[in-house]
Amino acid sequence: MKRVDDFRLRFGKQELVPIVIGGMGVDISTAELALEAARLGGIGHISDAMVQTVSDRRFDTKFVSAKLKQYKYNVASSDKSAVQFNLGVLEEATRNHVGKTMEAKRGDGMVFINCMEKLTMNAPRDTLRTRLSAALDAGIDGITLSAGLHLGSFALIEDHPRFRDAKLGIIVSSARALAMFLRKNARLNRLPDFVVVEGPLAGGHLGFGMDWAQYDLATLVAEVLAYLKSEHLEIPVIAAGGIFTGSDAAGFLERGAAAVQVATRFTVTRECGLPDKVKQEYFKAGEDDIEVNTISPTGYPMRMLKGSPGIGAGIRPNCEAYGYLLDASGKCAYIDAYNREVALHPDAKKLSVKDKTCLCTHMRNFDIWTCGQTAWRLKDTTRRLTDGSYGLLGAEHVFHDYQFSVDQKVALPP
């Protein structure tokens, strides 16, 4: 039986350990986590989700309070369309986050940034162009386009000097989505350097409807590989979603994937950005504690722990400070749901909004505990401490477990 270390991910002449730690916003896949993956010869992701907040936290900038101050007059209004991002500030925050991360990079691996199209920021094209260009300016090794079809995203940066040298890839959940992406971008004469095929067991948002359980990753990967072969295209395919052991990963590599993208097992590492108390919730979770629901205003189903404090919370939308999900006309499904509840219960001191959540605020506060379907197995990856809590893991330990383990074994920490 082969193990992950018997394979390499190849980008031209460069060879990498075929393990990618997936992007986890908002700063759950921290720079520290991504840098560990790079140091160990694989690929790590930072995320640009709510990057102004991340910059404030990490580098003591004051972008969020300045934005809130500018739009304070609008806080009580049910119409958030006035709230705009300043592109200069967005660029600076992205450069801070990416630049500082890349300065700290050691080792032979790479650091990519995860860019979600659904962060429409009340001006989808301009803000996405700024995010992508600033990340390239600041030296990111590669960009993974996610949460959206990204049909126009390559074109936004086609004039950037690094357009053909940085590694650019996309996450898809079907061969059809990939075919559409390739067709739309044919005129640019620039293929993606990699394609992540994400199946229905992943964490975060899913590229499926609520019928996600009818799909499986192995079939999707096989379909994408067959499609690429039929088109005579050689693009590395990276399998993602529900890959829990080194043996699971090696199985995908043996069947033609070039690498695996994993995330859930790293949520309980010391380098992960979740607060330690939340990491214990991930460890404690049973299979029945995990659900896929439709409370994300993006319209995509999302997987999370049922105990997430953000579920059912009826807070006032915080778009003046955040506003990352405002669409091109300044709307967000949570604002509509919240306004409906206010109209139904005009005298209520505290509201509950069940069908949608204020994702910006709750992700910022780590109150939506998104996870992959395998999160209930995390407790088997560590040891209990004398106080009954679960011992956090080192990212290196988990990375090496994926790289070297066989026979479905999971190595416990020493």
Ligand X SMILES: Cc1cc2nc3c(=O)[nH]c(=O)nc-3n(C[C@H](O)[C@H](O)[C@H](O)COP(=O)(O)O)c2cc1C
Stretch that binds ligand X, among 86-94, 323-331, 371-379, 392-400 (CB under 6 A): 371-379
- Cβ 209 to ligand X shortest distance, Å: 17
Helix axes 51-59, 87-103, angle to 10 degrees: 50
Number of residues that bind ligand X (CB under 6 A): 30
Residue 381 contacts ligand X per CB under 6 A? no
The CA-to-CA distance between both ends of the chain, in Å, stands at 25
Residue 259 contacts ligand X per CB under 6 A? no
Binding to ligand X (CB under 6 A) within 205-244 occurs at 240-243
Nearer to ligand X, 135 or 338 (CB): 135
Residue 305 contacts ligand X per CB under 6 A? no
Dihedrals φ, ψ of 271, to 5°? -75, -15
Residue 42 contacts ligand X per CB under 6 A? no
| Rounded Cα gap, residues 245 and 404, in angstroms | 10
Out of 24, 217, 337, 359, point to the residue binding ligand X (CB under 6 A).
24
Residue 262 contacts ligand X per CB under 6 A? yes
CB 210 within 8 A of CB 184: no
Residue 370 contacts ligand X per CB under 6 A? yes
CA torsion angle 49 52 55 56 (round to 10):
-130
Instruction: Report the half-sphere exposure of 277 (CA within 13 A, side-chain side).
Output: 6
- Cβ 141 to ligand X shortest distance, Å: 17
- Cβ 360 to ligand X shortest distance, Å: 13
- CB under 8 Å to 320, separation ≥6 — which residues? 67, 68, 71, 72, 74, 75, 80, 83
- In this structure, how many other beta carbons lie within 10 angstroms of the beta carbon of residue 276? 11
| Rounded Cα gap, residues 160 and 134, in angstroms | 10
Residue 135 contacts ligand X per CB under 6 A? no
Out of 198, 248, 271, 341, point to the residue binding ligand X (CB under 6 A).
198
Residue 201 contacts ligand X per CB under 6 A? yes
Binding to ligand X (CB under 6 A) within 310-349 occurs at none
CB 77 within 8 A of CB 11: no
| Rounded Cα gap, residues 63 and 236, in angstroms | 38
Stretch that binds ligand X, among 94-102, 133-141, 195-203, 335-343 (CB under 6 A): 195-203
Binding mask 44-73 for ligand X (x = CB under 6 A): ---x-x------------------------
Residue 263 contacts ligand X per CB under 6 A? yes
Look-up of token digits 């959540």 = 357
Look-up of token digits 């690929």 = 43
**CA 414 from centre of chain:** 30
Residue 192 contacts ligand X per CB under 6 A? no
Out of 23, 44, 200, 323, point to the residue binding ligand X (CB under 6 A).
23
- Cβ 27 to ligand X shortest distance, Å: 10
Out of 61, 114, 298, 318, point to the residue binding ligand X (CB under 6 A).
114
Q: DSSP code of 11?
A: E
Residue 171 contacts ligand X per CB under 6 A? yes
Q: DSSP code of 244?
A: -
Dihedral sign of CA atoms 294, 300, 301, 307 in order: negative
Nearer to ligand X, 259 or 337 (CB): 259
Nearer to ligand X, 302 or 353 (CB): 302
- CB under 8 Å to 364, separation ≥6 — which residues? 26, 50, 53, 322
Binding region for ligand X (CB under 6 A): 22-25, 28, 47, 49, 114, 116, 146-147, 171, 198, 201-204, 240-243, 261-264, 267, 370-372, 374
